[in-house]
Amino acid sequence: MSSIAWGAAAQSLPQQSDSGAAIPEIIVTAQRSAAPESKTPVAMSVLGGADLEKAGLDTAGDLGARLPNVYLQESFDGLRIAIRGVSNADVTEKGDPSAAFMVDGVYLARPQSQTVSFYDVERIEVLRGPQGTLYGRNTTAGVVNVISKAPAPYFEGNANATVGSYGTRNAGAMVNVPVNDMLALRAAVTANRHDAYLRNGQGTPYTLGLDRDDRAARLSAKFSPGHGVTALVRYDAGRDDTNNDSAVPDANFYSGIASGKPVWNDDSTSRRLTNRFRAPNSVPEQGYSRKKTANLTAELAWDLGPATVSWLGAHRHFEHDYLYNFYYRVAPTVALGTRNDFHADYAQDSHELRIATNGSGPLNAQAGVYWFHEKATALYDFRDLQPVGLTPYYVFDSDPVDARSKAVFGQATYAIAPRLRATAGARYTEDDKSRYGYIGYQQKAAFNPATDLRELNAGAISSHKTTWRLGLDYDLSPATLLYGSVSTGYKAGGFNDGCVSGASQVVAGSTVTCPAASGVPADTLVYRPETVRAWEAGLKTRFWDGRASLNLAAFHYDYRNLQLSAETVVNGRPRYETTNAGEAAVRGLEADGQVRATAHDRVTYAFTLLDAHYTSYMPDSLHSWAGVKLDRAPGRTLALGYEHGFDLAGGVLTAGASTRASAAYLLSVPTQQLQFRVPGHTESDLRLGWEPLGGRWSLQARVRNLENEVRPLTISASGLTVPSAPRTADMRLDYRF
């Protein structure tokens, strides 16, 4: 396994055998301007495109266990991101994440569209901690930014193919063409498939999920007409046809759930990955998920000498259809089968105009304005819930859900002394959300006013916040940076399903009301913004003639109104509800780096300590969760990786291994007072690569999750549990031209 096992090193292992083995510097844009990673006063991990390809990490979920204090986990309902114990589970069209996921600097609002394939990637920057000043709202936990390769002024191309276990078959290609001195074009494509990891033990002929079937393409153009003007335009489109039935009952991992005290069981990996649930009320159908994306991004920069003016604009369209067969626990010892049909259409537009100073003077400043708009239509219907008193079709129809955000921001760094710099920044954000829709109680899929009922399901909320950052950084030596900061973050408030008794609204041309029997208190329909104040101190250093590195970060967060989401029952009817969890505290220590003993030997390491817990939280009116750990917050983790290159006749054989050991952590369902403890575990990877000297091709063989142990990634209030991947093996061939 390459050094990206713990992200501090994002460059490929050198092939030359000279005595120098200095760690190459990485240029990042974490502070929205290009700077060496070792001189950027932010806790971050950088994953280089070459090492991503070596290790076969081509989705966000692949990265989750390979970054300090970061979990990126792909669930049936989208990507879940947790950084330093902070995450959010509301992946519906009205929800927001706690960590922003970006592609080429553009925020992706929907977690379902964040399960993208990585291809032709320059690097991935993962910033830990609130980034409310330069990146804005919904970054209380941090930022993940995937940066694609831009067209270059020279000709190059490559092609790759991968085969492996579970029927893995992947292929990709790229070509870069300089048309003339001003214009360069780049095209990249990818296609990826593997069979399901899950097994069907339900007695039906249908296949289950944790499979893969996606393809995507990107065309980029870079135009440099002179006079300091540069334009970069990217268009990409993709399709994903995986199976959405990617969960098993929580009983595959735990016993004693009915008693309210789940205990880890001793099932084998094979049994954990087998869905044996047979619903007493319904017969499953073949599950599916069909996603289509089309995205246009444009960047324009004009270097005016003292400053550069830049604009980043994007339009993204995402369409999603699926059929999902739910495992739905309605009582401690009773579970139903529920078929869920879904269709949604999302369109988002964003624009950012920014001006930043140039030059090497004592002042480095930037300021800008930001605008975002997302419009979504979504239709859910749930079947087979007649045993709980509902109609054959229980429908949620929203048209539209509208989210708007605008902000103004600025940040400046001033050199107080030759080695001492001070930073101050602030951002003011306004957010507006609304929904027009209804909840339908229907006999069939189509609404019939003669037999069916509708009740209002609409909401609106506005919120605003000023976030800020103050920091100092000091060069202890030319190779050592010491920094400290205090910063704040903000996540917009929102609304829940339901209505206030007597309310009415015109939806789809007709008036829909809220019957008295369905009404809920107005204060339960909205939840407040989530905020955080974070103190952080860190050190980044290179030593041993630049052949070793150490990154240290110590942090303390105070969270207010932490947003938690789960299924719940309101007036006897299932709903998805978000509440504010009072207060939480997060503190910890991170250390990571690498050592290059020779040009062919590289060791990577990372160690984390984390204490993330509620300080004030009452899931109900009876129980206090003060002191209970936040989800996905192991007290300690340790990761080690080693890679060695052997000079053989005609080439270099590279062997690598990495392992990560994690202490136990929790996955909780507060609405049911359930705490699922995931035991401590290790996960190890192996890699063997061959590259001939001066050759155009290379070969990689990889094994991931050598232990072949699986764990729950997510557990819903209804008992749906998404497992991690079992042991997999593959071989990749690359050819460059």
**pLDDT tens digits, residue range 47-74?**
999 889 888 889 988 887 778 999 988 8
Backbone angles phi, psi at 270, to 5 degrees: -60, -45
- Please state the rounded mean pLDDT for residues 253-266: 95
Which of 187-191, 651-655, 693-697 comes out lowest in average pLDDT?
A: 693-697
| Residue 341: predicted pLDDT | 96
Q: What percent of the chain has pLDDT over 90?
A: 77
Residue 362 has pLDDT above 80, yes or no: yes
Q: How confident is the model at residue 20 (pLDDT cuts 50, 70, 90)?
A: low
Q: Which of 262, 260, 322, 333 is nearest to 292 (CA)?
A: 322
| Residue 679: predicted pLDDT | 97
The model's pLDDT over 193-242, given as tens digits with 9 standing for 90+, comes to 999 999 999 999 999 999 999 999 999 999 999 999 999 999 999 999 99
Q: Which of 405, 397, 466 is nearest to 435 (CA)?
A: 397
| Cβ-contact 444, 464 below 8 angstroms | no
Mean residue pLDDT across the chain: 92
Question: Could you write out the DSSP letters of every residue in 589-651?
Answer: EEEEEEEEEETTEEEEEEEEEEEEEEEE--SSSS---TTPBPBT--SEEEEEEEEEEEEETTE
- Please state the rounded mean pLDDT for residues 357-364: 92
Q: Which of 680, 678, 671, 689 is nearest to 621 (CA)?
A: 671
Contacts of 449 (CB under 8 A, 6+ apart): none
The tally of CA atoms less than 13 A away on the side-chain side of residue 562 is 28
Give the C-alpha separation, 163 to 621, whole Å. 54
Residue with tokens 């609204």, as numbered in its chain: 505
| Cβ-contact 6, 592 below 8 angstroms | yes
| Cβ-contact 8, 551 below 8 angstroms | yes
| Residue 268: predicted pLDDT | 97
Please name the CATH architecture into which domain 3-736 falls: Beta Barrel (2.40)
Buried b (16+ CB within 10 A) or exposed e, 637-646: bebbbbbbbe
Domain extents for the chain?
Answer: 3-736
Residue 1 has pLDDT above 60, yes or no: no
**The one-letter amino acid at 389:** G
The helix or strand, by DSSP H or E, that contains position 52, with its residue range, turns out to be helix 49-55
Backbone angles phi, psi at 152, to 5 degrees: -115, 160
- Please state the rounded mean pLDDT for residues 29-45: 93
Q: How confident is the model at residue 572 (pLDDT cuts 50, 70, 90)?
A: confident
Beta bridge partners of 475: 481
Report residue 516 as tokens.
Answer: 């008295």
Q: Which of 360, 342, 235 is nearest to 298 (CA)?
A: 235
Q: Which of 593, 546, 735, 651 is nearest to 15 (CA)?
A: 651
Contacts of 88 (CB under 8 A, 6+ apart): 95, 96, 97, 98, 491, 563, 564, 565
How far is CA 437 from each of CA 381, 447, 454, rounded to the nearest angstrom? 13, 14, 10
Residue 571 has pLDDT above 90, yes or no: no
Give the C-alpha separation, 581 to 561, whole Å. 5
Which residue has better confidence, 183 or 32? 183
Q: Which of 37, 125, 136 is nearest to 487 (CA)?
A: 136
Question: Could you write out the DSSP letters of every residue in 80-101?
Answer: EEEETTB-----STT---SEEE
Contacts of 733 (CB under 8 A, 6+ apart): 160, 161, 162, 697, 698, 699
Question: Could you write out the DSSP letters of every residue in 409-451?
Answer: EEEEEEEEETTEEEEEEEEEEEEEEEEEEEEEEESSSS--TTT
Q: How confident is the model at residue 430 (pLDDT cuts 50, 70, 90)?
A: very high
| Residue 3: predicted pLDDT | 34
Give the C-alpha separation, 205 to 624, whole Å. 46
- The two most distant CA atoms of the chain are separated, in Å, by 84
| pTM: predicted TM-score of the whole model, two decimal places | 0.92
| Cβ-contact 409, 441 below 8 angstroms | no
Length of the chain: 737
Instruction: Tell how strand 274-275 and strand 199-200 pair up.
Output: parallel
Give the C-alpha separation, 152 to 132, whole Å. 33
| Cβ-contact 582, 558 below 8 angstroms | no
Buried b (16+ CB within 10 A) or exposed e, 562-596: bbbbbbbeeeebbbbbbbbbbebbbbbebbbbbbb
Count other C-beta atoms under 10 Å from residue 384's C-beta.
Answer: 23
